[in-house]
Amino acid sequence: MRIGTRKSAMALAQTEEIARRLSAVAPGIEVEIVKFETTGDSDQTSKLLPHGGKGGAFVRQIRDAVLADQLHAAMHSLKDMPGNEDTPGLVIGATLSRDPPGDVLVLRSGLSIDEFKRSRGKGFKIGTNAVRRAAYARRLFPEIEIIHYRGAADTRVRKLDNAELQKLPGGGAVGPADALIMARSGLERVGLAARIAYEFPVTDMLPAVGQGIVAVECAAQDFQTRQTLSLIDDPAAHACADAADVADRIGAG
């Protein structure tokens, strides 16, 4: 089975987990992981909207390969999949059990959470590319400065620790960041859970729809692949994915 995925460390870790689970339930199956450098991976400067949002930036190229019969399946983080548009010819064949969906704060080395709390974020630059996270952060800490910040999970943490500037679309740069708001599940996937300084309660920062769910997409008419993927499907996570799709469509309407 050929499974397409982004080339980031987190995406590869998620796809390798799919391969392990398939091997456990379908002995003899051979899984080939095909790496893609998506538009969102190659351009870590621009905002995502010009690329068609997360769907256009991180999903479209791999989906097109499935539709062209170049792949049997594609791995996506569910939160990257646009739920408010139809995807003719494709279905979610499996979802892995859901990882913790919450958002967390990661501080630059040398800074402490006590220092951050005492200042209530005043004087701190917090990096994120998510409008949702920025809005919640401004409500919680009105005096913080939100800066545009892109990159894979491990890349963002490296840039944070190295006090690197984040390039802006059209030129210029911002930063360096003092902290990042990230998904707990992403940090755990790349072995950086120890960097979590604070976990936001969902009452303070509601997670993105579908955050923490790994989805495996395949062609609707490829019933053999669908049957194989069903062996690793987690019904509870799949129900959450279906609910996320409905929520996205209602929000878009």
Domains and CATH numbers, the chain: 2-99+210-252 (3.40.190.10), 103-199 (3.40.190.10)
Residue partners of 146: CB distance under 8 A and separation at least 6: 125, 126, 127, 128, 134, 137, 138
| Closest CA relative to residue 183, chosen from 196, 170, 164, 171 | 196
For residue 167, the model assigns a pLDDT of 84
Asked whether the predicted pLDDT for residue 96 surpasses 50, the reply is yes
For residue 49, the model assigns a pLDDT of 45
For residue 81, the model assigns a pLDDT of 84
Which letter, b or e, does each residue of 62-84 get, where b requires 16 or more Cβ atoms within 10 Å of its Cβ? bbebbeeeebbbbbbbbbbbbbe
For residue 87, the model assigns a pLDDT of 77
Distances (CA, A) of 125 to 119, 148, 179: 12, 10, 7
For residue 190, the model assigns a pLDDT of 92
- Mean pLDDT (whole number) for 147-154: 88
Asked whether the predicted pLDDT for residue 101 surpasses 50, the reply is yes
- Give the separation between CA 72 and CA 178, rounded to whole angstroms: 42
Half-sphere exposure in the Cβ direction for 205 (13 Å, CA): 26
For residue 185, the model assigns a pLDDT of 93
Structure tokens at 6: 């982004």
Asked whether the predicted pLDDT for residue 172 surpasses 90, the reply is no
For residue 50, the model assigns a pLDDT of 43
pLDDT in tens, 5-64: 998 889 999 999 999 999 999 989 999 999 998 665 555 555 544 434 444 456 888 999
| DSSP code per residue over 58-122 | IIHHHHHHHHTTS-SEEEEEGGGS-TTS--TTEEEEEEPPPPP--EEEEEPTT--HHHHHHHTTT
Residue partners of 33: CB distance under 8 A and separation at least 6: 3, 5, 12, 15, 16, 19
- Check: CB of residue 133 under 8 Å from CB of residue 211: no
For residue 59, the model assigns a pLDDT of 86
| Closest CA relative to residue 207, chosen from 108, 130, 153 | 130
- Give the separation between CA 102 and CA 184, rounded to whole angstroms: 6
Position with higher pLDDT, 181 vs 166:
181
pLDDT in tens, 110-142: 899 999 988 888 999 999 989 999 999 999 999
pLDDT in tens, 203-226: 999 998 889 999 999 999 999 999
Residue partners of 1: CB distance under 8 A and separation at least 6: 22, 29, 30, 31, 32, 72, 73, 225, 228
Q: Is the pTM of this model over 0.85?
A: no
pLDDT in tens, 221-253: 999 999 999 999 999 999 988 887 665 554 544
- Mean pLDDT (whole number) for 140-157: 91
**DSSP H or E run through 56:** none
- Check: CB of residue 244 under 8 Å from CB of residue 210: yes
For residue 126, the model assigns a pLDDT of 96
Half-sphere exposure in the Cβ direction for 121 (13 Å, CA): 19
- Give the separation between CA 110 and CA 156, rounded to whole angstroms: 17
pLDDT in tens, 49-95: 443 444 445 688 899 999 999 999 999 999 888 765 667 899 999 99
